Amino acid sequence: MFIDRVKIKVRAGKGGDGMASFRREKYVPLGGPFGGDGGNGGSIIFEADPNKSTLLDLRFNRHITAEDGGKGLNKKMHGAAGNDFIVKVPIGTIIKDIKHDLILADLIEVGQQAIIASGGRGGRGNWHFATSRNPAPDFAEKGELGEDKEVEVELKLLADVGLVGFPSVGKSTFLSVVSKAKPEIAAYPFTTLIPQLGVVQVPDGRSFVLADLPGLIAGAHQGKGLGHQFLKHIERCRVLVHIIDMGAEDHRDPIEDFRVINEELAEYEYRLTERPQVLVANKMDLPEAKENLARFKEAYPNLPIYETITLIREGLDQVLYAVADILETASTFIQDEVQNEAVHYKFIEEIPFEIRRIKDNTYELFGDRIQRIFHRADITTEQGAHRFSRQLRHLGVDQALRAKGVKNGDIIVIEDYQFIFMD
């Protein structure tokens, strides 16, 4: 099975909670705060691995989590950092944040990595919070939650060259004779159901990656046949080898074939017609081939076209040389907005907080910033709770609540907790 798109959930590790403890040593009378910091949570990192060719693994692992950081320890000792989780994916994998419709990473090089969900920072131990007014804070900071996202992972093959043409024109046969790939070859349309890649060695030592694709038919760009779902795989090809069955084995007109395929390429969204094409007149062994080729040349007098009989490997070297020559100067086609830049999620705008009235006298407080502060707060101690309310005041929450009509004694809900507003 060829899996080229899958939705998964990723959750990075939570940072370990900081510790609240005090120095207790025999001859040290006023032991100060001494609790260590929590370790950072593990991140979820995607890595391009040349040994992977599909996203099949992800299909069976739809929830990926990384390890939480360890709690801070006594004597200012750090908690252990959580291990990162490395997800190996094929080269050419694009990772998208579904909620924000944002491309997070486009892994196009061997070993390239991108942090898709960052682990939460560990909470600071209580000694960080000592001040002259409060030399013995009894609270510590909690670990931050790890990032939690739903992502769409998509594979777009990274072949230099793509084979296009109607079904049964000999695309797979071509790939099979110029590379070690062993695609299925048969005299019925749509033999090739999933894209196949092969590494082609040109006799002079150059090489490139060639993709054999399912045949295209009229209407492919609208989803007819198998065309559309695979056209996207040639988005990244720099050169197209367009194979035409000059023998007209399926009783179509080769000249018409050429026009239809180009029309499909033009209709498809991604500038496919900007790719240089190398034209191949295949099946030149068939009786009508010569005559068809003559007509083709009349119709397109200025287009170079290579004659081949892929079945017996005739005429192929010239095609390979032509392709390799063009590749030397052809431009790359990587999605503009991504280029090589790995991670983009930092540009997501953070909502500090919002207030929603749930019912009379009850309001919900939510938003990225407020929730983060809340998760880090230790509200189980009085001092910790005080610090939390100070932080809210700093953010302007109190004022905003008043402006919303919140009065003394009203209930404020944050996630599962309820607080009473005291003005």
Ligand X SMILES: Nc1nc2c(ncn2[C@@H]2O[C@H](COP(=O)(O)OP(=O)(O)OP(=O)(O)O)[C@@H](O)[C@H]2O)c(=O)[nH]1
Could you list the residues that contact ligand X (CB under 6 A)?
165, 167-173, 185-187, 189-192, 214-215, 247, 282-283, 285-286, 309-311
Q: Which is nearer to Mg ion, 145 or 157 (CB)?
A: 157
Stretch that binds Mg ion, among 168-176, 223-231, 382-390, 392-400 (CB under 5 A): 168-176
Q: Report the DSSP beta bridge partners of residue 201.
A: 207
Contacts for 38 with CB less than 8 Å, ≥ 6 apart: 15, 16, 17, 18, 19, 69, 70, 71, 72, 78, 79, 122, 123, 124, 125, 142, 143
Count CA atoms within 13 Å of residue 392 on its CB side. 29
Q: Which is nearer to Mg ion, 124 or 232 (CB)?
A: 232
Query: Using the rule CB under 5 A, is 176 a contact of Mg ion?
Result: no
The partner in contact with residue 137, picked from ligand X, Mg ion, none with C-beta cut-offs of 5 to 8 angstroms by kind, is none
| Contact map string, positions 183 to 212, toward Mg ion, x by CB under 5 A | --------xx--------------------
Q: Which is nearer to Mg ion, 126 or 172 (CB)?
A: 172
Q: Which is nearer to Mg ion, 21 or 172 (CB)?
A: 172
Distance CA 215, CA 192 (A): 7
Q: Which of residues 255-294 bind Mg ion (CB under 5 A)?
A: none
The partner in contact with residue 343, picked from Mg ion, ligand X, none with C-beta cut-offs of 5 to 8 angstroms by kind, is none
When computed from its CA atoms, the radius of gyration of the chain, rounded to whole angstroms, is 31
Q: Report the DSSP beta bridge partners of residue 419.
A: 412
Q: Which of residues 61-100 bind Mg ion (CB under 5 A)?
A: none
In the DSSP assignment, the letter for residue 420 is E
Contacts for 389 with CB less than 8 Å, ≥ 6 apart: none
Query: Using the rule CB under 5 A, is 21 a contact of Mg ion?
Result: no
Distance CA 260, CA 255 (A): 9
**Cα 50 to Cα 53, 88, 111, 165, 181, distances in angstroms:** 7, 9, 8, 28, 16
Query: Is the separation of the CB atoms in 144 and 93 below 8 Å?
Result: no
To ligand X, the closest distance from the beta carbon of 255 in angstroms equals 18
To ligand X, the closest distance from the beta carbon of 311 in angstroms equals 4
Distance CA 52, CA 216 (A): 27
Q: Which is nearer to ligand X, 320 or 373 (CB)?
A: 320
To Mg ion, the closest distance from the beta carbon of 179 in angstroms equals 14
Count CA atoms within 13 Å of residue 98 on its CB side. 13
Is residue 10 within a helix (H) or strand (E), and if so which, with residue range? strand 5-11
Distance CA 191, CA 415 (A): 55
To Mg ion, the closest distance from the beta carbon of 311 in angstroms equals 14
The partner in contact with residue 189, picked from Mg ion, ligand X, none with C-beta cut-offs of 5 to 8 angstroms by kind, is ligand X
To ligand X, the closest distance from the beta carbon of 211 in angstroms equals 12
Q: Which is nearer to ligand X, 89 or 216 (CB)?
A: 216
Q: Which is nearer to ligand X, 311 or 413 (CB)?
A: 311
Cβ-count burial of 200 within 10 angstroms (0-12 exposed, 13-18 middle, 19+ buried)? buried
The partner in contact with residue 282, picked from Mg ion, ligand X, none with C-beta cut-offs of 5 to 8 angstroms by kind, is ligand X
* Other Cβ atoms within 10 Å of 348 Cβ, number: 13
Stretch that binds Mg ion, among 166-174, 229-237, 249-257, 404-412 (CB under 5 A): 166-174
Stretch that binds Mg ion, among 88-96, 146-154, 167-175, 323-331 (CB under 5 A): 167-175
To ligand X, the closest distance from the beta carbon of 335 in angstroms equals 27
Q: Which is nearer to ligand X, 82 or 183 (CB)?
A: 183
To ligand X, the closest distance from the beta carbon of 155 in angstroms equals 20
Phi, psi of 319 (to 5 degrees): -65, -45
Q: Which is nearer to ligand X, 156 or 283 (CB)?
A: 283
To ligand X, the closest distance from the beta carbon of 270 in angstroms equals 21
Query: Using the rule CB under 5 A, is 172 a contact of Mg ion?
Result: yes
Is residue 412 within a helix (H) or strand (E), and if so which, with residue range? strand 411-414
Contacting positions for Mg ion (CB under 5 A): 171-172, 191-192
